[in-house]
Structure 1
Amino acid sequence: MTRYRYYTATTLDGYLADEHDSLDWLFVQEQDDGSGETGAPGTYEQFIGTIGAAVMGATTYEWVARHLREKGEAWPYAMPCFVFTHRELEPLDDGVRFVAGPPAEHRAAIEEAAGDLDVWMVGGGALAADFAEAGMLDDVLLSIAPVTLGAGRPLFPRRYELRLTELGRNGAFVVATYDVVGPPTRW
């Protein structure tokens, strides 16, 4: 069964990016990239082998596109990628598909593209919340950095209950995995 997984990094105060959509805070943190023998949790290498399709919002896609162009790099994802947007955007790869509307309208196509693997909710937080509200978010895999921003793009901009299932450390990051429970029922 296909799982929808929100794998991301966040600041201690719950932001994905600062108010200028910068991730500078992320790239200066100490972490194991998975190439060593430490077996640190939360590495991209451990995660990406489980993924058959990716989903992201337009702001995330535009951030990735801008940084790839600045570095002269190619599209980094080998799997199909669904970008939820109402804007006209340029596809960076043949595997990029632009879609609009609620996540549930695209569930069959996303799961068909993922095959027997999972779906990576790349970002952003509002799209992850939309997927959760559609019953299409199973877990949240967070690398929590020891930094605060005070403002910016929130990790998850709506009230939701999660249940901690795993906890570890990767360099400077606390790595936590949560099952998605649903809208709050107790408060």
Structure 2
Amino acid sequence: MRKVILALGTSLDLHIARPNGAVDFLYMPKDLYPVQAAFFRRIDTAILGRKTYEDALAMGGNFSEWKLTYYLMTRSPLANPVPEVTVTSATPAQVVSRIRRKPGKHIWLMGGGELARSFLAADLVDELSFAVVPKLLGAGRPLFPQGFPEREFSLLRNESYGKGVIALTYARKRPRKKSR
């Protein structure tokens, strides 16, 4: 089955962006490049929320660069949507179901926090993958906004890289179905 993987960078205090949306505090040490390349070989689809989409465009984002299929989840129409991005107002479960009906690689839940919250609330996240940079922001957009039920994950990997960056990967620990 195609996994939904929430993967992004975060500060030590679990902010994925500054209050204004800037991500200038995030950096990738060179020894993390092969890890990122391996991640991109595992995925072929990305789902993102409106704020992440707008932030990416403001930073000159090029949606054709990574050769992924993109889904933008938003409740309001876009004035000038990027042709490489499919805009949808469907629920997280509907979007994931539509993607999983087709063969392919895993699905990157690209961000942001509100989108992560809605996918966690629907219990659709199979894996968490974070690069934690050693900075405290004190304020910003939270990695996990409140509003989803408790979820349990098992640690798959924890690795340290240059400049104090820690990469953490967790798998969703789903309750066992009771047998009769």
Q: Which residue of 2 aligns with 1:32?
A: 31
Q: Secondary structure at the match of 2:59?
A: helix
**TM-score normalised by structure 1 residue count:** 0.81
Alpha-carbon contact 1:12-1:147 (below 8 Å) kept: yes
- 1:43-62 aligned within 5 A: 43-62=35-54
Q: Secondary structure at the match of 2:82?
A: coil
Please point out which of 142, 157, 160 is paired with 1:166: 157
Provide the rounded CA distance (Å) in 2 between the counterparts of 1:133 and 1:74. 27
Provide the rounded CA distance (Å) in 2 between the counterparts of 1:181 and 1:21. 31
Please point out which of 74, 78, 81 is paired with 1:91: 81
Alpha-carbon contact 1:53-1:80 (below 8 Å) kept: yes
Q: Which residue of 2 aligns with 1:21?
A: 21
Q: Secondary structure at the match of 2:120?
A: helix
Note the C-alpha offset of 1:112: 3.9
Q: Secondary structure at the match of 2:128?
A: strand
Change (3 A) 1:33 1:167: closer
Q: Which residue of 2 aligns with 1:5?
A: 5
Q: Deviations over 1:29-79 (max 9, x none)?
A: 634352xxxx6xxx321100110211000000011111117xxx5642312
Provide the rounded CA distance (Å) in 2 between the counterparts of 1:162 and 1:25. 27
Q: Which residue of 2 aligns with 1:107?
A: 96
Alpha-carbon contact 1:68-1:74 (below 8 Å) kept: no
Q: Which amino acid aligns with 2:29?
A: E
Provide the rounded CA distance (Å) in 2 between the counterparts of 1:13 and 1:74. 29
Identity of aligned residues (%): 27
Q: Secondary structure at the match of 2:25?
A: helix
Q: Which residue of 2 aligns with 1:157?
A: 145
Unaligned runs of 5+ in 2: 175-180
| Number of equivalent positions | 170
Unaligned runs of 5+ in 1: 183-187
Note the C-alpha offset of 1:164: 1.6
Q: Which amino acid aligns with 1:150?
A: G
Provide the rounded CA distance (Å) in 2 between the counterparts of 1:104 and 1:164. 25
Q: Secondary structure at the match of 1:55?
A: strand
Q: Secondary structure at the match of 1:135?
A: coil
Query: Considering only aligned residues, what root-mean-square deviation do their CA atoms show, in Å?
Result: 2.2
Change (3 A) 1:5 1:13: same
Alpha-carbon contact 2:63-2:85 (below 8 Å) kept: no
Note the C-alpha offset of 1:22: 0.7
Provide the rounded CA distance (Å) in 2 between the counterparts of 1:55 and 1:47. 15
Q: Say which is worse superposed, 50-59 or 154-163, in terms of deviation.
A: 154-163
Q: Which amino acid aligns with 2:132?
A: I
